[in-house]
């Protein structure tokens, strides 16, 4: 017996798809540590420790097992590879699910055409942009997709609630809780199928549903991993100084519940903020995954299910798709695009059904239009068999043409999706950690994503564990709500403080000195008196102009003129104001001006604190045709609630003058 004869055609196709997927993902796999959640998972799984809410205990434990069993490559690469393995398993099981949909929806099509359509659906999903991008980095979404496909397979296989399905659903909840979005679809599907299968043998067992509930709840005990591992998590608490202790995970029942339910992210659920822009975002994301051809084929697939009265499959797939999309519409996180992966999976299944339905219909129409019915019984049967063979051949030929879709997606996206050469985070942090930094220095960024690679090098590679990397909202308290507050807390610790990237706008509240590739931060201590004292801005009770410094009282035409304003906050500033300095001639006409938002995006006025003194520097260029006379300086603040509308803070004020010389 030849080796290939030991396997069925479906097994060979499944194996081929999995090998092709793993080869593609391996070729485009990220080689080292990354940023953001990927970097977090790369060190959390190795320790093991606690990840951000909801903790992902199943993924972390699997990652710990994998990174300690696989001895090849660095730990970060191993976690990237684990995502590729989960993605490959998803592709293998998805083919089986897609094949079952083809058989159920279009039973009159040939087995080979059903296999081709299932392979088309699977390969399209394999190279869809978002799924592919998550298959080559350390992330949770390929395992989540695997659970989605596994639940579909169990639902289609048993067509009824079963012990395995209940257990898998409970297990999937210990990974990514958005799996609950499939629940309405599964319940509706089982409700429809039970109408036709009242004699299902499992329903007759008296303890069936209690055992199902037990199967569902048993895996949830994995969440007790969080309080058990908390005492050995090195970053459960971080100490800036004796009175400054940050608790990242509160190891109490309340802390456990808040972490489990992701309380910190509840503010991102904004149902009332959904509008046309959000809907357009979904359409654009769908187009990125499968293009117009894929969208059309998916629509044909839905139509084919309806025409063939497969309302059970329509209910299962459409409700699951809508559940995912609806939730994502109201959930306003930055990386929301990754949560659409299950929705794109259903779209690709529809593409498979649509391609088979369209090819089968076109082939059947062609055969019927070309063959005539012979009255002779023998010839009539011969023509019927001939017509079927021709129809099957044409269907298969047309389906082969549809593989242009995944092929075009593959080659059009590989350069953009590939992470094979992404060593940016690794190289940058190796550079930073090789700097001659003082013992116990604090490194700051306004972005959590940029700090996570540092923690990887500390906890996995044991490089400079004395350093402390911080970012805003590292804990959910006011003192760490933004980079300005974080800067205050860091300076109060009396440690050396550095910014890991240029944030010159923070000079509004601190002194920044370039040191190697970093920026040393020292406190800004305003003088008790200012060179040019000023008074409260007219009609404003929110902020006070204490004074200003121009360095020069006269200036030449064409020369730059710098002025520093010193503001003190009187009342909370609720919006982001811009400040201005206008140079005005004797006739009240403007000569030149400077307008900007003090603090930029890092420390805008809505973050300023009452009593805080801030310095605001402006640079203007004196026009070469400026009048040679004394020019007045007018200063003020305003904000723009929308383009074209300006609301001033008080009336502004003339604070002094300079002399223009030829």
pLDDT at 375: 46
Q: Closest Cα partner for 432 from 504, 515, 510, 523?
A: 515
pLDDT per residue as tens digits for the range 111-142:
898 999 999 999 999 999 999 999 999 999 99
pLDDT per residue as tens digits for the range 410-450:
999 999 999 999 999 999 999 999 999 999 999 999 999 99
Lowest-confidence pick of 125-129, 355-359, 489-493, 528-532: 528-532
Sheet holding 613-621, edge to edge: 532-533, 543-549, 560-569, 613-621
pLDDT at 547: 85
pLDDT per residue as tens digits for the range 602-640:
999 999 999 899 999 998 888 887 777 778 888 888 888
Residue 172 falls in which region: left (phi positive, over 0), alpha (psi -120 to 50) or beta: alpha
Per-residue pLDDT band at 461 (split at 50, 70, 90) = very high
Across residues 293-315, what is the average pLDDT?
92
Q: Decide: residue 336, CB within 10 A, 0-12 exposed, 13-18 middle, 19+ buried.
A: middle
Tokens of 177: 């809780």
Q: Closest Cα partner for 638 from 653, 650, 649?
A: 649
pLDDT at 546: 85
Per-residue pLDDT band at 182 (split at 50, 70, 90) = very high
Across residues 298-318, what is the average pLDDT?
92
Report domain extents, the chain. Answer: 8-415, 424-523, 532-661
Phi first, then psi, for residue 196 (nearest 5°) are: -105, -5
Whether the predicted pLDDT of 343 surpasses 70: yes
The CATH class, in words, for 532-661 is mainly beta
pLDDT at 154: 95
Per-residue pLDDT band at 382 (split at 50, 70, 90) = very low
pTM score, two decimals? 0.88
Greatest pairwise CA separation for the chain in angstroms:
113
């Amino acid at each position: 017996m030849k080796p290939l004869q030991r396997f069925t055609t479906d097994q060979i196709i499944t194996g081929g798809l999995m090998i092709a997927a793993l080869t593609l993902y391996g070729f485009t796999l990220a080689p080292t540590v990354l940023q953001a959640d990927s970097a977090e998972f790369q060190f959390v799984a190795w320790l093991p420790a606690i990840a951000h809410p909801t903790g992902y205990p199943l993924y972390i434990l699997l990652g710990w097992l994998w990174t300690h069993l696989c001895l090849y490559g660095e730990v970060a690469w191993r976690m990237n590879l684990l995502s590729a393995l989960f993605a490959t398993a998803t592709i293998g099981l998805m083919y089986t699910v897609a094949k079952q949909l083809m058989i159920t929806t279009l039973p009159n099509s040939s087995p080979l055409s059903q296999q081709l359509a299932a392979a088309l659906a699977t390969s399209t999903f394999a190279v869809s942009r978002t799924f592919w991008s998550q298959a080559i980095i350390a992330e949770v979404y390929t395992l989540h997709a695997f659970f989605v496909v596994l639940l579909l397979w169990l639902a289609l296989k048993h067509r009824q609630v079963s012990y395995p399905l209940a257990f898998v659903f409970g297990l999937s909840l210990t990974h990514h809780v958005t799996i609950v979005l499939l629940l309405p679809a599964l319940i509706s599907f089982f409700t429809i199928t039970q109408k036709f299968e009242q004699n299902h043998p499992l329903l007759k067992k008296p303890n069936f549903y209690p055992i199902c509930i037990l199967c569902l709840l048993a895996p949830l005990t994995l969440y007790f991993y969080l309080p058990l591992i908390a005492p050995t998590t090195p970053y459960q608490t971080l100490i800036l100084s004796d009175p400054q202790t940050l608790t990242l995970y509160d190891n109490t029942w309340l802390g456990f519940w808040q972490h489990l339910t992701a309380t910190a992210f509840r503010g991102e659920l904004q149902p009332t903020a959904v509008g046309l822009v959000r809907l357009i975002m979904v359409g654009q994301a769908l187009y990125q995954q499968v293009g117009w051809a894929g969208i059309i084929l998916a629509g044909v697939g839905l139509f084919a299910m309806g025409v063939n009265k497969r309302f059970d499959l329509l209910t299962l797939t459409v409700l699951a798709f809508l559940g995912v999309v609806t939730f994502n519409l109201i959930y306003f996180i930055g990386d929301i695009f990754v949560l659409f992966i299950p929705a794109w999976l259903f779209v690709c299944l529809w593409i498979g059904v649509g391609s088979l339905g369209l090819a089968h219909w076109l082939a059947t129409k062609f055969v019927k239009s070309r063959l005539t019915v012979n009255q002779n019984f023998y010839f009539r049967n011969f023509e019927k068999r001939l017509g079927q063979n021709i129809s099957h051949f044409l269907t298969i030929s047309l389906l082969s043409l549809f593989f242009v879709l995944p092929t075009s997606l593959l080659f059009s996206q590989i350069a953009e999706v590939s992470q094979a050469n992404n060593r940016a985070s690794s190289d940058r942090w190796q550079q930073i950690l090789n700097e001659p930094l003082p013992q116990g220095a604090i490194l700051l960024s306004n972005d959590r994503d940029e700090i996570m690679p540092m923690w990887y090098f500390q906890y996995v590679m044991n490089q400079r564990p004395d350093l402390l990397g911080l970012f805003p909202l590292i804990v959910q308290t006011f003192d760490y709500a933004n980079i300005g507050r974080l800067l205050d807390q860091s300076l109060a610790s009396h440690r050396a403080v550095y910014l890991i990237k240029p944030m010159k706008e923070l000079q509004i509240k601190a002194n920044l000195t370039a040191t190697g590739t970093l920026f040393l931060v020292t406190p800004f201590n305003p003088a008790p008196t200012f060179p040019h004292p000023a008074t409260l801005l007219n009609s404003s009770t929110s902020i006070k102009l204490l004074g200003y410094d121009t360095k020069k009282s006269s200036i030449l035409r064409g020369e730059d003129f710098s002025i520093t304003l010193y503001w003190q906050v009187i009342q909370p500033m609720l919006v982001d104001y811009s400040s201005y300095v206008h140079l005005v001639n004797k006739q009240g006409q403007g000569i030149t001006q400077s307008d900007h938002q003090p603090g930029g995006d890092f420390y805008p006025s809505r973050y300023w604190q009452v009593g805080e003194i801030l310095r605001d520097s402006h640079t203007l260029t004196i026009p070469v045709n400026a009048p040679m006379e004394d020019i007045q300086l007018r200063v003020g603040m305003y904000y723009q609630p929308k383009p074209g509308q300006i609301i001033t803070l008080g009336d502004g004020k003339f604070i002094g003058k300079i002399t223009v010389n030829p």
